[in-house]
Amino acid sequence: MERQAKAVDLNVMACRVFGGLTAGVGLAVAAQRHQFSAPGLALVPLFMAVIPWAMIGFGFNAAFKPGSAAELVFIAVVSVLTVAATYWLVIGFPAHQSDYAPFFAVILVTFVTGSNGMWFGGVAIAGCLGCSIAFDAAGRYPFGNWFVWCFGFGIGWVGGGGFRMQVQLARRLADAQVELAARAAEAERHRLARDVHDLIAHSLAVSMLHLTGARLALKAGDRDDALDALEEAEAAGRSAMSEIHRTVGLLGSGQAGADAPTPNASDITPLLENFRAAGLALEVSVSGDMERLSLAEGLAAYRIVQESLANAVKHCPGASVHVRIQVGPDQASIRVTNPLSVAVGSGHPPRGPGSGNGLKGMNERVTALGGTLTAGHCDSCWTVDVLLPLLSGRL
């Protein structure tokens, strides 16, 4: 929008320049014809030439939509008045060889070319030259003068065309800027939705595990274990609310939060322990140096494990989940596997199908880093397989 405003400003500035130039030419023509000391009939064509351009200088033509019939009629009227006034001054009230009156026609050619295009500017030149040739043939206008006009018309035509190209380029840049801003906003919305989804899914999964443990403890008559599980669920809920409030606050302020560190590969182990403490049966296998993962790769790995465990808790509660992480010299692989069936007598209610947003978010993270993600049924299990190429392996 800023560039679009600049394009509009260019038009406004150009109109003011044309109006100012015409006013200056009008003063020079009036001085050549002694209209300040002995005003006469020459003031009529002078006013005919200057008044329409003064209207343009004050933005009168801005009321017309570009390219509309009203604008074309207005430009046609200005063109006719300018050409008629110019030749009326040259033929009816001659000054001398260095006449400034032809500059009215040169300004007209420049304006028409800049506002409507090279073709319209060519038509304006043809009209002016046609009048010059006709007057020359009739012996009313000397050949030498209108030959100089040709040079002036050429300069105006090229200058007007260059200005029009500049305005069109500014408008195209404005459109491209608006499109890029819209794409950036859409990408940011997707990123925020993905992050909030990951946060809420993880917190709810841990809370559900603790609540399920509390329910089972109450059924077994173990009040102390039930209270411990409820306290853990409450703590998880409070932590989630705190993170959500912090995220919303950062969105409102537009500032990067120094107190909101981004999870990385070193946070995966505490994440697994958190799920295990909440009652999730986990089998974990980690090999390789987790420190080889960059911040972006570590964040992606953390979110993938987090979302996979949350999905396992949601869709297959009570089942054992196997997590395998391998970090090699060039790539890291993550596999999270859980059975599709719920163990009988586990006490966990089955869950319905999800929306697929979590899987989509994981795929976007992996694709952005040049990796691949495969998720689906395999041997009565749901398996998430991820391969991430390591930045350190490409250096």
Q: How far is CA 149 from CA 119, 132, 152, in A?
A: 19, 9, 5
- Radius of gyration over every alpha carbon of the chain, rounded to an integer in angstroms: 39
**Contact (Cβ atoms closer than 8 angstroms) between residue 316 and residue 345:** no
Smallest CA-to-CA distance from 325 within 309, 314, 312 is with: 309
Largest Cα separation within the chain, whole Å, is: 121
Q: Can you tell me the distance from the alpha carbon of 97 to that of 101, in angstroms, rounded to the nearest whole number?
A: 11
The encoded tokens of residue 329 equal 């010299």
**Contact (Cβ atoms closer than 8 angstroms) between residue 332 and residue 326:** yes
Q: Can you tell me the distance from the alpha carbon of 250 to that of 3, in angstroms, rounded to the nearest whole number?
A: 29
Asked if the model's pLDDT at residue 84 lies above 60, the reply is yes
Q: What angle do CA 207, 212, 216 make, to 5 degrees?
A: 150
Where do the domains of the chain lie, and which CATH numbers do they carry?
2-179 (no CATH), 264-395 (3.30.565.10)
Instruction: Give me the phi and psi of 284, to 5 degrees please.
Output: -115, 135
Higher-pLDDT residue of 109, 356: 109
Residues forming beta bridges with residue 384, ordered by sequence position: 336, 375
% pLDDT > 70, the chain: 79
Smallest CA-to-CA distance from 16 within 63, 59, 57 is with: 57
The encoded tokens of residue 316 equal 């297959």
Q: Can you tell me the distance from the alpha carbon of 266 to that of 252, in angstroms, rounded to the nearest whole number?
A: 29
- Give the DSSP per-residue string, 236-294: HHHHHHHHHHHHHHHHHHT---TTSPPP-GGGHHHHHHHHHHTT--EEEEEES-GGGS-
The pLDDT of residue 334? 93
Give pLDDT tens digits for 136-179.
Answer: 777 776 656 667 778 888 888 998 888 888 888 878 887 888 88
Asked if the model's pLDDT at residue 14 lies above 90, the reply is no
Give pLDDT tens digits for 47-59.
Answer: 999 998 888 888 8
In this structure, the strands spanning 331-339 and 381-389 are antiparallel
Q: How far is CA 394 from CA 282, 292, 312, 329, in A?
A: 33, 12, 34, 10
Q: Can you tell me the distance from the alpha carbon of 381 to that of 362, in angstroms, rounded to the nearest whole number?
A: 19
Give pLDDT tens digits for 133-143.
Answer: 887 777 776 65
Smallest CA-to-CA distance from 307 within 209, 210, 197 is with: 197
Taking the alpha carbons of 95, 18, 75, 56 in that order, is the dihedral positive or negative? negative
Contacts of 348 (CB under 8 A, 6+ apart): 212, 317, 318, 342
Look up residue 91 and give its DSSP letter. I
- In one-letter notation, the amino acid at residue 217 is A
Give pLDDT tens digits for 230-281.
Answer: 777 767 666 666 666 665 655 555 554 445 567 888 888 888 888 887 778 8
The encoded tokens of residue 164 equal 């029009």
pTM for the full predicted model: 0.50
Burial 360-376 (b: 16+ CB within 10 A, else e): ebbbebbeebebebebe
